[in-house]
Structure 1
């Protein structure tokens, strides 16, 4: 349970499964009023029902594809209609395809920008004014350890998640005095559907099994295993709590010790 979330309105992107679902469930069980967002209406409905069964109270859903420029507005309006202006936003979604830097085209980079950076900017533009007026708000984007240490074969994620981090760091400076914190969480290798897809693609490229790829990732972190979505969700939840009011502009790694930098 995360203290200070009772009655707060939270929008959680990509929350029908994986990291987003873990965040949405934690917030709902902590008393927040949660809008579950994903592209599939069927999966949204399933996640809403599952969260309610897990003890989450006020939970609604909205199907939206954030690559559609109008989707953030639709989501914010759905949250307002259900619960009121969003006080907590967790920007989260799927990642771009893996590829090498020399193989990436301008179209690839443009597509990654539309997938990763522009939805965050649009959500911030739509929700931060009300947070600032209210004197309280939390905006968290889930990015990747690639922000701190770029990963081979993932140039689009490396480049655009770093752009998200830089953008939100600048935003954090401008809204902090109004009681609004803006942070990012950088997960390491986490047991999600997205990771399974990446492992399969790498396995096909390198002539090994997906199981071998995943095992290799697990051994790269001192904890010797993949992270679980709930472990990442706990960090997101803390940053959204009342106790985290003094933490803003931070890119918080949750990577099982994978990163080797001191700061």
Structure 2
């Protein structure tokens, strides 16, 4: 299936490993000109070289203004921007009585304001070109909040509303905005946590972890011409883990 991504200019945030890396790799295979961003300059250079990406940019997106700077740099380097995939690392765990003010502020910047900065920086050039795709990678916790994950559950839930309101404002300009809600996927980060994988998969109706390439296929489709009438949606990819609608 030709998704019409050949020559499209894409930026994938948080792409040196895991789900972001899988998304960027899939877009490169589809012929897009892809720029990557991650905190570590060494890792992002290696990732870009490994997949044949057009550009690798190192930046700490938890710093105010950093995300907008990255988007502006990529627009200049690629001559514009057609696709933006917003992906940031998860904040620390903790219950409502444990999380400090500093952790809330850091989570606000890294999860919420980095997304806002990215959209504000990318949307004008997409509107001008009458075509654009903005995809936010959030989490199933956005729809089914979990105890001891106050920061992640709280801010990611708000990102679903941000997706909807942004989509309403940009739809008439040919720009779609959607969220993808990953469940448990087989990534390096998940295995670093040394969680009881057998116990986790037993709670998933599919009885397995998701494969990063499966999520990458969904995100790449949402970035395509064929998904032009899909906007304002929050789509879970979780093997049936979520219990709600």
User: Which range, TM-score by smaller chain?
Assistant: over 0.9
Determine the structure 2 residue equivalent to 1:166. 161
Q: How does 1:15-164 map to 2 (within 5 A)?
A: 15-52=15-52, 59-164=54-159
List runs of 5+ in structure 2 lacking aligned partners: none
Q: Is the 8 A contact 1:2 1:241 kept in 2?
A: no
Partner residue of 2:215 out of 211, 232, 240:
232
After TM superposition, give the deviation of residue 172 of structure 1 in Å: 0.7
After the TM superposition, list the runs of 4 or more consecutive aligned residues in structure 1 that deviate by more than 4 angstroms: none
How far did 1:158 drift?
0.3
- Aligned match of 1:206: none
TM-score, structure 2 length as denominator? 0.95
**Whole-angstrom CA distance in 1 between matches of 2:44 and 2:29:** 17
SS of 2:157's equivalent in the other structure is: helix
Q: Cα distance, 1:93 vs. partner?
A: 1.4
CA RMSD of aligned residues (A): 1.4
> Quick one: distance in 2 between partners of 1:100 and 1:194?
21
In the alignment, the residues of structure 1 paired with residue 88 and residue 187 of structure 2 have an alpha-carbon distance, to the nearest angstrom, of: 12
Determine if contact 1:48/1:61 at 8 Å carries over to the other structure. Answer: yes
Question: TM-score, normalising length from structure 1?
Answer: 0.89
Does structure 2 conserve the Cα–Cα contact (< 8 Å) formed by 1:2 and 1:27? no
**Is the 1:38–1:65 Cα contact (8 Å) retained in structure 2?**
yes
* CA drift at 1:62: 0.5
Residue correspondences, number:
245
Q: For the residues of structure 1 that align with 2:165 and 2:101, how far apart are their CA atoms?
A: 25
Shift of 1:74: 2.5
Distance 1:9 1:59 in 2: 9
Structure 1 residue aligned with 2:231 = 248
The alpha-carbon deviation at position 168 of structure 1 amounts to: 1.9
The Cα of 1:2 is off from its aligned counterpart by: 5.7
Q: How much has 1:249 moved relative to structure 2? A: 0.5
Give the conservation status (yes or no) of the 8 Å contact 1:76–1:85: no
Q: Take 1:214 and 1:93, find their aligned partners in 2: how far apart are those partners?
A: 23
Take 1:179 and 1:111, find their aligned partners in 2: how far apart are those partners? Answer: 33
CA distance in 2, matches of 1:16, 1:124: 21
SS in 1 for 2:184: coil
> In 1, Cα distance between the equivalents of 2:217 and 2:150?
28
Are 1:2 and 1:237, in contact at CA under 8 Å, matched by a contact in 2?
Answer: no
Aligned residue for 1:204?
Answer: none
User: 1:196: Cα distance to partner?
Assistant: 2.8
In structure 2, the partner of 1:55 is none
